[in-house]
Every structure is written in structure tokens, then in C-alpha cells.
Amino acid sequence: MKLVFWIIVVFVTGILTGIGFLFFIDDPVPFWIIQCIVIASIILSSFIYKKLIRPYNIILSGMQLLKEQDFSTHLRPVKNKEADQLIEIFNKMITQLRNERAMIREKNHFLDLLINASPQGIIILDFNKRIADINPAGIKLLNIGDISVVKGKSLNEAPFELSGTLAALSSGNDIIVRGSGVTAYRCIRSSFIDQGFDHPFILIEELTHEFLKIEKASYERIIRMMSHEVNNSVGAIGSTLNVVADIIRLDGQAEWQEVLPAVEASFERCGNLAHFIKNLAHVVRIPEPALAYISLNEQIRSVDALTRVECRKRNIRLTLSLTEQDHIIHADGIQLEQVLVNIIKNAYESIGKDGEIRIVVQSSPLSVTIEDNGPGISTDEKEKLFTPFFTTKASGQGIGLMFVRDVLTNHNLRFSLDTENGITKFKIFFD
């Protein structure tokens, strides 16, 4: 615009000057009139440029700054009242845009930090309902080794345990989900507005410790009441039965001798009941772990030595798969050994005879997996396995997995138990 304006000015003044020299050079009055017109046109052009063209060019350059999203530059006043008012408004707008952009960047940075530091798992979906991102807590909760494996996939396609449940969630849903082992999650699906459209995300909060705390407090109270009442009753009944048995033996009458086996069986039954209550009380009174640094491979070899003889009796092959590089873990060696022995005991009792048990140590993530090819776990059993006093064995008391659960929970270790493709796996994570 600036160039065009000055070309027109030069063109017009050039024509007027040429007319003066060509046609009125010998007539001084018209000649000087034309020259005065030329001078006046130059002065008028300068005035028009200053009042209109220059402010217009400055405003155009401001529009270009907006187009390029450069909010760091301000326009300079041109000593034109109307134009300076426009420039002042423009500069205020630029300042406000710059401040809002800085504020948005700070908020976005804060949200990124908040999402990454959040103890809740967060899955952010794109507009096509595919996984766009998962925060570190979500990666850990869902046991995802590499986020690139799930990015860009729909929830149904994602290879983690809760994928199907999360895919079925609709916006606003708030549900409690049980995972493998004793894990429990609260899952909420919601959305935020992005570019005028709903941008969905899913919050995942682990409730395992809260659930276990409530459950343990409940059964501890029940066991204490049972232990008090049963021990008092069993003690008195057992003493009475013992005295009755002694009297019958001393009396020697034949008719009483027939009663003696029933009295002895009742006395033995009282003893078994007292032993059962003692076992329950032992589960309730699990001491806090005495943590120490121990070798994971050596711990597995120790468990192998304790269980191999029983496996051999049942014709069950017990194999180890250890890592070349040993790993040092922070745990209570005695309690962890009891846990692993209990798990293997459950495995060979489930198999019965003629089977295989494998103990596998993995480095990434650091974990121990105990696999067996027994009959497996049904869906109904899976939901009840770690419930207090639940057992699938005819003579079981339902406290073995309670003990395993509580010890691993006291160690803050994640674990899972599931059957897949005919193989039952109990997995303990040490990361």
C-alpha cells in the first residue's frame, strides 16, 4: 500500500511538472500556478500519508503479527489521535492475549505435573476413543510394561486386565471393579471440553488397602469373639470328657466301655476345634515384617528344598527358572518363605498326582511366578479365593490364602492369581 501510494504521488506530480515545462514555460503565470499545485499536492500527499496511509500500514503489520501469533511486539504511536486510539486498543489486546497464553501454558504445565504426580491412574482418550496417553500411576496400576504397546488402541484392543470393563464404561459411570488376586479399583469415566468437543478420560483409583483394612478389622473382631467363647467352652468340655473317660476306664463295667470310644472321639474333636481356633488367631496376629536385604534366587532355592520331597512323592516335577543376575529384595525372609511354600503346597494339592510346577523369576518387571498345570480356578472360585475362611478343599480351613494375602499386603507387594490356557499362575511383583 505504501509503495503504491508513493508511485501515484510521483506519477501525478511528474505529469503536472511536465505539463508546466512543455506548455507553459514561456508563460510565467500559468507555469508558476502549476508549480504551486505540484508543491501543494506533495504537501497534501505527505499529510494524507501521515494521517491515513502510515496508520493503515501499521495496523496491517499488527494484523500480520496476530496471524503469526506473535504477541511479544507492540505497535508504536504515530501522533495521530484516531490512529493512536486504535493502536492503544490493539496493544492492550496483544498484552491480554500474551498474558492469557502465558496463563494457559502455566495451567497446562501444572496439569501435566499434577497428572504425572497423581496417585490415581488416568487414561486419556482421543476423539476416536483410542488411548492417547496414560499417566505413570495408571501404567503401574494396569501393569503395562511399555506404553507404546497400548497407545493408539481402543480399550477393547488394549492388552491389560481391566480393558473390557473400562471399554464398557459410559460417561459419568462410577463403579468398583475387582481384579485378579485381591485388587479392587474404583473406575470413573468423565470428559472435558476440548475444541468444542467432549474429550473423554478415565480415572482409576486402587481401593485394595482400604477394602482389606475394613475386612481384616471385621474378621479380627469375629475371631477374637469366637476364640474367647470357644476356648472357654472347649476347655471346660474337654476337661469334663477327660474326667469321664478316666472314670469309665477305672470302673471297668462292660456297658460303659461301649461309650468310651465316643467320649474319646469327642475329646479329640474338642482338641481339633481348639487347634482350628489357634490357627485363626495366628492369622490375625501376623507380626509386622522384619525387613532385610535378601537374595531372591537364594530364597527360591530354599523354598525348592522345602517342597521338592513332597512333590517327588506325588510324581510332580518341580522346576526352577532363575535369572542369571541375582536380585536383592527388601523383605522378611521367613514370612516370604512361608508364603511361597504355602503357594506351592496349594499347587501340588490342587494337582494331586502327576503334574508340573514351575517357579519362574523375571527381571523386568522383577517378579516371581509359580505356575502349575492343575485343574485351574473357575470364575466363581476366583472371586472368593482370598475371602476369609473360603476353601475348595474338603478338609481345608480357608486361612492359607488369608495368610498369603496379609503377608504380601504388609510388604506392599502386588500379586495376582489366575488361570489362563490351562495354566494357573500366582505372580508376585517386587517392583
- 42, 50, 51, 64, 83 from 79: Cα distances, Å: 20, 9, 9, 22, 8
**302 alpha-carbon distance from chain centroid:** 34
- Residue 404, judged by CB atoms within 10 A of its CB (0-12, 13-18, 19+), counts as buried
DSSP 176-204: EEE-STT-EEEEEEEEEEETTEEEEEEEE
pLDDT of residue 34: 62
Q: How many other β-carbons are positioned within 10 Å of the β-carbon of residue 379? A: 7
pLDDT tens string, the chain, 431 residues long: the values are: 556 555 665 656 666 666 656 666 666 666 666 667 666 666 666 665 555 556 666 666 767 766 666 666 776 776 767 667 777 777 788 788 888 888 878 887 888 888 888 888 898 888 888 888 888 888 888 878 788 888 888 888 888 878 888 888 888 888 888 776 667 888 999 888 777 777 889 998 887 777 767 766 766 676 677 666 666 676 777 777 777 777 776 766 666 666 667 766 776 777 777 776 666 666 556 778 889 999 999 999 999 988 888 999 999 999 999 988 889 999 999 889 989 998 999 888 888 889 999 999 998 889 999 999 888 777 666 666 666 555 565 555 455 677 788 888 888 888 888 888 888 899 999 87
pLDDT of residue 33: 66
pLDDT of residue 280: 62
* Cα angle value 19/24/25 (rounded, 5°): 105
Helix (H, G, I), strand (E, B) or coil at 207: coil
Helix (H, G, I), strand (E, B) or coil at 267: helix
The H-or-E segment that residue 124 falls in is strand 121-125
| Alpha-carbon gap, residue 431 to 368, rounded angstroms | 11
| Alpha-carbon gap, residue 409 to 203, rounded angstroms | 23
- 21, 43, 181, 370, 401 from 284: Cα distances, Å: 119, 102, 20, 26, 13
The H-or-E segment that residue 410 falls in is helix 400-410
Helix (H, G, I), strand (E, B) or coil at 415: strand
Residues whose CB is less than 8 angstroms from the CB of residue 143 and which lie 6 or more positions away in sequence, other chains included: 160, 161, 365, 414, 429
| Alpha-carbon gap, residue 291 to 394, rounded angstroms | 36
Of 390, 392, 395, 396, nearest to 377 by C-alpha is 392
Indicate the pTM of the whole model: 0.52
